[in-house]
Chains A and B, each alone.
Chain A
């Protein structure tokens, strides 16, 4: 299992926990699995098309990833809202 880490409002929607062991071989599969476990998360990270929302970043073991990034056992997936300057 990989570990999906969520923060802020996502943590609350995920039952209050920030680290969630989830089965799946891509970022999208992990996030969909997490939605099934915590339906309140549905639509917050992935949109209806299965795309990560524009201002959310996902990192796999510290590297920026996308929906189709391959995830292995014990990988760590961080879901973070983008912090932008300007």
Chain B
């Protein structure tokens, strides 16, 4: 049985099912409210949801049972009395020690929890970084959307902010430095050069079997890093478009990555009315478009950065993604063949899969 936890424009959905039997809605929570991100935390099995109530502001909630009582997490706020307010929480991620969780949000903020997500604290070093005044929001706001722990090393962490680039820490978040070398922002003047912070990273994933290797979907460009995010090389040649948002990896294959290209920044839909997932198994040297079972006619879908996920690995790799059209697709053979898991949901903001 596979479980998909979806954040949507109109609430959280838990889907249960299999590729053979299909998927069905097992639970819904926060009906009518925007759920920007939702996940089942793998260590504890606890569900988390970031909900941006248009009335009452952004909150993180947790529950052991999605149909039971949800509890508001404490401490998810900026310092009182300042000139900024928390806009939304984009992502929640599991850290490398027991009870350690991270949450990223707008305006370019990182929260840490050391008690399994019950209480949270703002990462002060990133919040007070001297370059912060120069950080610029992307189209979705100044969102910290990628949180990439390093397997076995809780002191090392990579985060990415749209549009303030990649940030690295080696001391558990006490200090941060940029990791942008090699990134080329086509939307900046050519002479912007090294040191520019207006870098619109869309998503980063790490290859767990080779932790120094990271893959990035950029705002125009797909990149790979072989030095844990210090520098990047472009690997997007061969894609139908190198614009897009989500990216996934096969956890057992450090040469693998999956992206779902969109046509361009000014036309954020699947190119040519065809939904295709592109796969590399050689570190980005070549890409193969996978379309089997996916809509290929008049299909102008938008897949957001946290709406693609994977479970298992290798030839049994299951991939799932949700679109803002409310459709969810799945593959149980590493993306070769796809099936419709469910349709007619609200716009899908995030999808996390577990088996």
Residues of the A chain whose Cβ atoms lie less than 8 Å from the Cβ of B72 = 40
B79 sits at the interface (CB 8 A):
yes
Chain B contact residues: over half helix, strand or loop, or mixed?
A: loop
10 tightest Cβ-Cβ pairs between the two chains A and B: A47-B85, A81-B55, A48-B78, A44-B56, A48-B85, A55-B55, A55-B54, A48-B80, A49-B85, A48-B77
Residues of the B chain whose Cβ atoms lie less than 8 Å from the Cβ of A82 = 55
A33 sits at the interface (CB 8 A):
no
Complex Cα spacing A43 to B73, Å: 12
B189 sits at the interface (CB 8 A):
no
A15 sits at the interface (CB 8 A):
no
Complex Cα spacing A42 to B81, Å: 13
Q: How large is the interface on B (under 10, 10 to 19, 20 to 34, 35 or more residues)?
A: 10 to 19
A17 sits at the interface (CB 8 A):
no
Counting residue pairs across A and B whose Cβ atoms lie within 8 Å, the total is: 41
Residues of the A chain whose Cβ atoms lie less than 8 Å from the Cβ of B81 = 48-50
What's the tally of chain A residues with a CB closer than 8 Å to chain B? Answer: 17
Complex Cα spacing A51 to B82, Å: 11
Give, as a whole number of angstroms, the nearest-CB distance from A36 to chain B.
12
Query: Is B80 within 8 A of A56, CB to CB?
Result: no
Residues of A within 8 A of B (CB): 9, 40, 42-45, 47-51, 53-56, 81-82
Contact of A43 among B77, B82, B83, B84 (CB under 8 A): B77
Residues of B within 8 A of A (CB): 54-57, 59, 72, 77-86
Complex Cα spacing A56 to B56, Å: 8
Contact of B79 among A48, A55, A81 (CB under 8 A): A48
Complex Cα spacing A51 to B78, Å: 13
Give, as a whole number of angstroms, the nearest-CB distance from B52 to chain A.
11
The residue of chain A having its C-beta at the shortest distance from the C-beta of B56 within the complex is: A44
Query: Is B57 within 8 A of A47, CB to CB?
Result: yes
A-B contact pairs, 23 of them (CB 8 A): A9-B56, A42-B77, A43-B56, A43-B59, A43-B77, A44-B57, A45-B56, A47-B86, A48-B77, A48-B78, A48-B80, A48-B84, A48-B86, A49-B85, A51-B85, A53-B55, A53-B57, A54-B54, A55-B54, A56-B55, A56-B56, A81-B55, A81-B56
The residue of chain B having its C-beta at the shortest distance from the C-beta of A47 within the complex is: B85
